[in-house]
Structure 1
Amino acid sequence: MTQDIRLSNKAQKVTSSFNWPTVSILLIIFAIPAIPAVFILIFVALGLGETPIQSEFINPVYYQKPVVIFTHGIFGILFFVSAPFQFSTYLRQRYKQWHRMAGCITIISGIGIALSGIAMHHMLTPDVKGARYLSLLAFSAIMSLSFIVGFYYAWRKSFTNHQCWMYRAIAISATPISLLVIEISLNLLFGQLMAYELIHQFLFDYGRVFVVVLNLVFIECFISKTLLSSQNFAARYG
């Protein structure tokens, strides 16, 4: 009897926690591009008049095609303020209507980031094609598809599959930040070696696809060892 009560309490804890570790990590990760985006949008908006603001942080091209930068930036900010909190079990269960609304914002902004990223490439580096451009197209397609599949399972009320696919979508979305961390780390460790040029070129051309694979391997381990095991425990003892 005592053991059953203990197991029931543990199951309740599993299914009702705020999940601060995951939420906090995602907030930190997505703050890296989102916070600079806020200032970039402000500077671009203030500089759209006759005298554009000159700053080393603002690419002059932004003033030529503000629609692209505003689209990409706004989607990024919406994603930052909505996506991390989707992974709080407490918020999902207590505020279901909010979860649905914020989830729609996350999915729309995630797809918007992926597609507007292609437009950003054409705006900033129109002459760069080849493997790097194909990697960007593959990354954008995979990211968009993962959010679409996540929405499909939510619409079908297959919530376990929905949750798994949203974890995958978020892992894919973190690819640019993960790639940045990898590039900085490798530069600090091996930047003086001649072979680093080969590594740098590989990451420049294929880095997005390479990091997508790494992130998906990590998240699949997380899903199998943490998410699914917790749900199976709750289903068995809840």
Structure 2
Amino acid sequence: MTTRTTTRADWLVPTSLILLTFVPAAAGAVRLTELARGAEITPANERFFAMPLPIVLHIVSVTVFCLVGAFQFAPGIRRRHRTWHRIAGRVLAPTGLVAALTGLWMSVAYPQPPGDGPLLTAFRLVFGTAMAASIVLGFVAIRQRDFHRHRAWMIRGYAIGLGAGTQVFTHLPWVFAGVAPGEFTRAMLMAAGWVINVGVAEWLIRREPTRARVSARATA
């Protein structure tokens, strides 16, 4: 009975995170299909056809980062499969960095599509830089065997990377109303997705008991 309960608990958080990833991952798959097969070029997508490599790398890397990273949030899975946890970490660090750096590159090098603006570009630069920095700091921490600091920085990086999933929900009222948000409103809705995720990440980091931090250092 205990094993079944633990197993269900282990899968609850990863499943929730995978579901949150589903809409942006599906949208990314549609974009890749358009690029592979060719599609009508519009003001919203012409930048991708002009230079497809950055968007392809971004979609693939951020999808892998979010899907594989979801399983790092299951303590039972980490305890029972430590080797898998380490291998997954070696996948997450480079894919997360590629996702963040291609996102930054596209923010400054691609022409702005209709509906975007300088404020949204600024938000993308801030959060993209924060994501890249979090992953680098997480890598440095694990090299120093500071497991708590490693966990904290990787959670922050993952939260930012998963921003597109939460942004689906921040846009839902406008979708249901059938109204396209203006430039300023869209920027704030996008920022809200990142801020919500970072807020949840900080709550998760700070609720970890001090004893668990000490134990993690001693046993990992």
Give the match for residue 156 of structure 1. Answer: 144
State the distance in 2 between where 1:102 and 1:211 align.
25
Give the match for residue 110 of structure 2. Answer: 123
Q: Is the 8 A contact 2:159 2:198 kept in 1?
A: yes
- Letter in structure 2 aligned against 1:228: P
| Pair 1:36 & 2:22 matched | no
State the distance in 1 between where 2:210 and 2:15 align.
22
- Letter in structure 1 aligned against 2:196: L
| Pair 1:228 & 2:209 matched | yes
Q: Is the 8 A contact 2:62 2:161 kept in 1?
A: no
Alpha carbons of structure 1 residues 203 and 64: separation in structure 2 relative to 1, 3 Å:
same
3-state DSSP of counterpart to 2:209:
helix
Give the match for residue 98 of structure 2. Answer: 112
State the distance in 1 between where 2:31 and 2:187 align.
26
Give the match for residue 99 of structure 1. Answer: 85
Unpaired segments ≥5 residues, structure 2: none
TM-score, normalisation: structure 2: 0.76
State the distance in 1 between where 2:200 and 2:149 align.
17
Unpaired segments ≥5 residues, structure 1: 1-8
CA deviation after TM superposition for structure 1 residue 234, in Å: 7.0
Q: Is the 8 A contact 1:175 1:211 kept in 2?
A: yes
Give the match for residue 144 of structure 1. Answer: 132
State the distance in 2 between where 1:19 and 1:224 align.
20
State the distance in 2 between where 1:101 and 1:232 align.
22
CA deviation after TM superposition for structure 1 residue 53, in Å: 4.1
- Measured against aligned partners, the alpha-carbon deviations of 1:149-191 in whole angstroms (never above 9, x if no partner) come to 22222121111222222222222222232223112235647x8
The one of 46, 63, 87 equivalent to 1:77 is: 63
Alpha carbons of structure 1 residues 17 and 156: separation in structure 2 relative to 1, 3 Å:
farther
TM-score, normalisation: structure 1: 0.71
The one of 195, 200, 213 equivalent to 1:213 is: 195
Q: Between Structure 1 and Structure 2, whose CA radius of gyration is higher? A: 1
3-state DSSP of counterpart to 1:138:
helix
Alpha carbons of structure 1 residues 234 and 159: separation in structure 2 relative to 1, 3 Å:
closer
Q: What is the aligned length?
A: 211
- Letter in structure 1 aligned against 2:147: F
